[in-house]
Amino acid sequence: MIWRGRYYDGRTARRQDVTVTVSDGTLSFDTDDGSTVVWKPDDLELSAEDDSPVVRLVNPAVPDAVLEVEDPAFPQALQRAAPGIGSVGSRLRRNRRSIVIVVIACIVFAGAVFGVATVLPGVAAALIPSSVQRSVGDNVVGQIVSAISAIEDREGRFCENAAGQAALDRLIRRLAAGHDDVAFRIRVADLQMVNALAAPGGRLLATRGIIDFAESAEEFAGVIAHEMGHAIHRHPTRAVIREAGLGATLDLLTGGGLGGTTAWVLVRTAYSRDAEREADDAALDLLGRAGIATAGLVRLFERFEKEMPDAPKGLEMISTHPRSAERVERLSRAGAAGGGPAMPDADWQAIRAICDQG
């Protein structure tokens, strides 16, 4: 059978109208310069879209040349001459190498990204000098206080009562015994939010809200110990590097597809849970070594979970998240051993009054 087709030889932009013959397992047509082109259908690449009237045939040996036939009966004749031509199977077979390359590239790339996401922030946090981290931490604390006070529609000041600050510093010194590598510094901000934060460089921030929320010095000390745990493990610095450094790279990825955003959110959440567990363990260790009852920490978290179920989360820095039952149970089991008061009562009263003016 013969069909009308068009042939472009890929050398000049001339269109050649040809008649195509398919027989005896070959496909042939005459070109304008008198020669006959013979192709074997098995070798050819066929491209035809579902509702496109045109069938294109390309011979890989001469990749620039194209034969086009626009006849609905043509594909069937081709199928008879070369069963499987243009099928998914033949396409897969021909692109085998490409497929393998792509799959391997995906795996390697995903592995590299996750590897960097988990390893890099720790390395960077260890290498950046402490003085720089402290400087950044002070900045970050200032920014957080400004932001939260804007939301709460308050002035955004730090509580500076001397006796209260001295009591806080004593608590820090007691808890930090043995951790000379981190220069802790704690400040209290006059904010309603019930929260305590660790910023880079050992900078700690507590709110008036959490001082009021704590029913005992031991509860308060527990929270502070938890934040100190974050600082000791350099979580704040690592988190900021992770966000800043990888934020740029992952912006690139999410530009390539919305699925990337979902994957990234999953990675972030998992990382935060590990950080919280590490901070919990460190808190228990600090409290234990300072001889402070760990029950306070557990009690505060239980109360927090119960009494403040929709506390806002999602601040930039590591902040206290609502506790799950699993964590409370873990903390209770580990901290069952006894312990004494966190500080003299006079100190606790001074801390409670730290935000009073005058």
The footprint of another protein (CB under 8 A) covers 4, 6, 8-15, 49, 51-54, 56, 64-66, 68, 70, 98, 101-102, 105-106, 109, 116, 120, 124, 128, 132-136, 138-140, 151, 237, 240-241, 244-249, 252-260, 262-263, 310, 312-314
Nearer to another protein, 24 or 153 (CB): 153
> Beta strand 45-47 with 36-39: parallel, antiparallel or unpaired?
unpaired
Residue 91 tokens read as: 């396409």
Whole-number minimum distance, CB 230 to another protein, in Å?
17
The tokens for 327 are 């964590």
Contacts for 42 with CB less than 8 Å, ≥ 6 apart? 82, 85
284: part of which helix (H) or strand (E)? helix 259-290
Residue 134 or 187: the one with the smaller Cβ distance to another protein is 134
Closest distance to another protein from the beta carbon of 351 (Å): 28
DSSP 33: T
Handedness of CA 77, 83, 89, 91 (dihedral sign): negative
Give, in degrees to the nearest 5, the angle at Cα 200 between 197 and 202: 75
Nearer to another protein, 91 or 170 (CB): 91
Nearer to another protein, 177 or 266 (CB): 266
Strand partners, 6: 17, 68
Q: How far is the CB of 64 from another protein (least distance, A)?
A: 6
Determine the Cα–Cα distance for residues 310 and 316; give it in Å rounded to an integer: 18
- Comparison of 243 and 305: residue with beta carbon closer to another protein: 243
Nearer to another protein, 238 or 299 (CB): 238
- The minimum distance between CB 251 and another protein, in angstroms, equals 8
- Residue 308 CB, nearest distance to another protein (Å)? 13
Map tokens 């692109």 to a residue: 95
Are residues 300 and 222 in contact, defined by beta-carbon separation less than 8 angstroms? yes
Q: How far is the CB of 21 from another protein (least distance, A)?
A: 18
What DSSP character marks residue 291?
Answer: T
